Amino acid sequence: MPNIIALLGALDTKGAEYAFVKDCIESRGHKTLLIDVGVLGRPPLKPDISNEEVASAGGADLRKLAADKDRGKAVAAMSKGAAALLPKLHAEGKFDGVLAMGGTGGTSVACTAMRALPLGVPKVMVSTTAGGDVSGYVGVQDIVMIASIVDVAGVNQISREVFARAAGAICGMVETIVPAGEDKPLVAATMFGNTTPCVEKAKKIVEAAGYEVLVFHATGTGGKTMESLIDAGRINGVLDITTTEWADELVGGGFSAGPTRLEAAARNGIPAIVTPGCLDMVNFWAPETIPDKFQGRTFYQHNPNVTLMRTTVDECKRLGKIVAGKLNMSTAPVTVLIPLKGVSMIDLEGKPFHLPEANRALFDALKKNLRDDIPVIEMDCDVNDEAFAKRCSETLLAHLKATA
C-alpha cells in the first residue's frame, strides 16, 4: 500500500515548487495530500485541503485575512489553523509524513504545524533559515531541516537538486520500517558531567528492575525534550537528579529549559524523585561571553567553551523556593533527596564551588516551602555517592510499584 505524504505550503506563491516535488514523490509510487496555507491568490494547483479550511480550523476568516493584507496576522492565523488540522488528519490516517518548503513565514507556519504532530511522524522542512539557529522553529520535535541554498522562488538548477533530494528524504523516511524492540516501561533521568556517576549507578539499578532509562543532558534542550515526552504520555517515572537548568533560568545562563521546567511530571501524575543536582552552577559559554554584571563572581572553566559560575546564597534561597513550588503541583508520589555534602563534583569540601552557606540556604528554602506531605530524605553524602544513587533509584522504584 503506498504511503501518503502531506505537502504543506503556500500554493499561491509556491505552486511550481510544490508541483515539482509532488511529481518527484509520486514517481516513487507514493501519494500526496496538498494542503494550502496561502492567503492572497488563487493557487495554480488544486489543493486537497483548501486554505479556507486551514484558516477556519484556526478560527479565522480567509477573506478577512486577504483583505487586511497583514502578513504577520496571516502567518499567525494560518499557523494556528495548520497546527489544529495536521494532527487531526494524521490521526485519521490521511498521511504518513509531511514535507514543506518556504522562507521565514512559510517555515514558521509549517514548523508550527509539524511540532503539533507526534514524535516519530516523518517531518521535512526545506527552508531558507536552515544553517542558522533553527531552535525557534524546531523546538524539541524531530523535524529535519534542509537548507534551500537559494530562495524558495522557482525551480532552477540549484533548487531542482535540493527539492528532489528533499522529496527523496521524506520518501525514504516513510518507507522505513522501524525494527521491533523489547519495549519496556520508560524512566527519564537528567544528567550533567558533574552528576554522571550518580545517574549511571541509578540507571543500572532501575534497568535491572525491568525499566528502560532515557538519559537527558540538562542543557536546556534536554530538559525541554524530557518534559515534552512526559506530556506526550511516553514516560512512566522520572529520576530528576540534575535540576541545574533552573539555575540558568533564574540567573540568565545558557542552559535554561524555560519557566515550566519541573512541571510536566507534577502535572501529569508521573512518579518522580528530585534532587538539587548542580544547582550550585550557572552555565555560560567561553569566558568572554559572560556579562559584565557578573564580574567578581566565582567561576570554573569546565572546558574551553563552557564556563560555570557559582550560585550565591540569595540565588540558592530563591531556587529552593522555586523548586518547591513546582513540586507542590504533584499529583503522584514525589520524593526530594538532598545530598548534604555536595550537589556536584565541584561542590565538595576543598573544591572550587564549596560554599556551605549557599547549600544551606538552598536546602532550607526547599524544605520550608515544600508541601507537608512530600517526603524529604537528607543524606550525609554527596550527590555522586553510591549510597545516594541507590536511595534515589530504590525510592523511585517504590513509587512506581505503588502506582502500578
Task: For residue range 134-143, list pLDDT tens digits in order.
Answer: 999 999 999 9
Q: Do residues 146 and 130 touch, judged by C-beta distance below 8 A?
A: yes
Rounded-to-integer distance, Cα 154 and Cα 366, Å:
58
299: DSSP letter: E
| Residue written as grid cell 530528576 | 240
Q: What is the mean pLDDT of residues 159-170?
A: 98
Q: What is the mean pLDDT of residues 180-186?
A: 92
Q: Do residues 336 and 256 touch, judged by C-beta distance below 8 A?
A: no
Rounded-to-integer distance, Cα 381 and Cα 370, Å:
22
> How many other C-beta atoms lie within 10 A of the C-beta of residue 369?
15
Q: What is the mean pLDDT of residues 322-339?
A: 98
**Facing residues of 308 across strands?**
283, 300
Confidence of residue 105 (pLDDT cuts 50, 70, 90): very high
pLDDT in tens, 270-299: 999 999 999 999 999 999 999 999 999 999
Q: Do residues 34 and 126 touch, judged by C-beta distance below 8 A?
A: no
| Residue written as grid cell 486537497 | 48
3-state secondary structure of 229: helix
Contacts of 165 (CB under 8 A, 6+ apart): 146
Rounded-to-integer distance, Cα 156 and Cα 175, Å:
28
Q: What is the pLDDT of residue 1?
A: 67
Q: Do residues 96 and 122 touch, judged by C-beta distance below 8 A?
A: yes
Rounded-to-integer distance, Cα 358 and Cα 368, Å:
15
Confidence of residue 362 (pLDDT cuts 50, 70, 90): very high
Q: Mean pLDDT of all residues in the chain?
A: 97
44: DSSP letter: S
- What backbone torsions phi and psi does residue 42 show, to the nearest 5 degrees? -85, 125
Report which of 129, 149, 154, 151 is spatially closest to residue 13, judged by C-alpha positions: 154
* % of the chain exceeding 70 in pLDDT: 100
| Residue written as grid cell 555560560 | 284
Q: What is the pLDDT of residue 11?
A: 96
Task: Tell me the domains of the chain and their CATH numbers.
Answer: 4-175 (3.40.50.12020), 186-403 (3.40.50.12030)
pLDDT in tens, 218-256: 999 999 999 999 999 999 999 999 999 999 999 999 999
Instruction: Retrieve residue 72's grid coordinates.
Output: 504577520
Q: Do residues 215 and 203 touch, judged by C-beta distance below 8 A?
A: yes
Confidence of residue 182 (pLDDT cuts 50, 70, 90): confident
Q: Give the total residue count for the chain.
A: 404
3-state secondary structure of 282: strand
**Interior angle at CA 299, CA 282 and CA 319, nearest 5:** 30
Q: What is the pLDDT of residue 173?
A: 98
pTM: 0.89
Rounded-to-integer distance, Cα 142 and Cα 213, Å:
20
Rounded-to-integer distance, Cα 119 and Cα 140, Å:
10
> How many other C-beta atoms lie within 10 A of the C-beta of residue 6?
27
- What backbone torsions phi and psi does residue 330 show, to the nearest 5 degrees? -65, 140
Q: What is the pLDDT of residue 93?
A: 97
130: DSSP letter: B
Rounded-to-integer distance, Cα 203 and Cα 185, Å:
13
Q: In the Cβ-directed half-sphere of 274, how many Cα atoms lie within 13 Å?
A: 34
Q: Which amino acid is at 280?
A: D
Integer angstrom CA distances of residue 203 from 238, 342, 349, 387, 393 = 11, 20, 26, 13, 8
Q: Where would I find the H helices in 35-143?
A: 51-57, 62-68, 71-91, 104-115, 135-138
Q: What is the pLDDT of residue 41?
A: 79
pLDDT in tens, 112-128: 999 999 999 999 999 99
Question: Residue 34 above 90 pLDDT?
Answer: yes
Q: Do residues 192 and 215 touch, judged by C-beta distance below 8 A?
A: no
Report which of 63, 176, 20 is spatially closest to residue 7, judged by C-alpha positions: 20
Confidence of residue 42 (pLDDT cuts 50, 70, 90): confident
